[in-house]
Structure 1
Amino acid sequence: MAILIDPPMWPAWGTVFSHLVSGSSLDELHAFAHDHGVPDAAFDVDHYDVPERMYDALVAGGALPVRATELIRRLIAGGVRVRAVERRS
Structure 2
Amino acid sequence: MSVYVDDAVTLWRGRRWAHMMADTLEELHAMAARLGMPRRAFQDKSSGAHYDLTVELREEALRLGAVAISRHRDREQVRAIIRRARAQWSGAGPG
TM-score by length of 1: 0.77
Asked if 1:56 is matched to 2:66, the reply is: no
Equivalence map 1:62-77=2 (5 Å) = 62-68=65-71, 69=75, 70-76=77-83
2:5–2:68 CA contact under 8 A, matched in 1? yes
Match of 1:88 in 2: 94
1:22–1:75 CA contact under 8 A, matched in 2? no
Deviation at 1:51, TM superposition (A): 0.7
The number of equivalent residue pairs is 84
Q: Matches of 1:30 and 1:3 in 2, distance apart?
A: 10
2:50–2:85 CA contact under 8 A, matched in 1? no
1:42–1:50 CA contact under 8 A, matched in 2? no
Equivalence map 1:1-89=2 (5 Å) = 1-23=1-23, 25-45=24-44, 46-68=49-71, 69=75, 70-76=77-83, 79-81=84-86, 88=94
1:5–1:71 CA contact under 8 A, matched in 2? no
Q: Matches of 1:19 and 1:80 in 2, distance apart?
A: 11
Secondary structure of 2:36 counterpart: coil
Range with greater deviation from structure 2 (62-71 or 10-19): 62-71
1:20–1:48 CA contact under 8 A, matched in 2? yes
Secondary structure of 1:81 counterpart: helix
Question: Structure 2 stretches of 5 or more lacking a match?
Answer: none
Secondary structure of 1:80 counterpart: helix
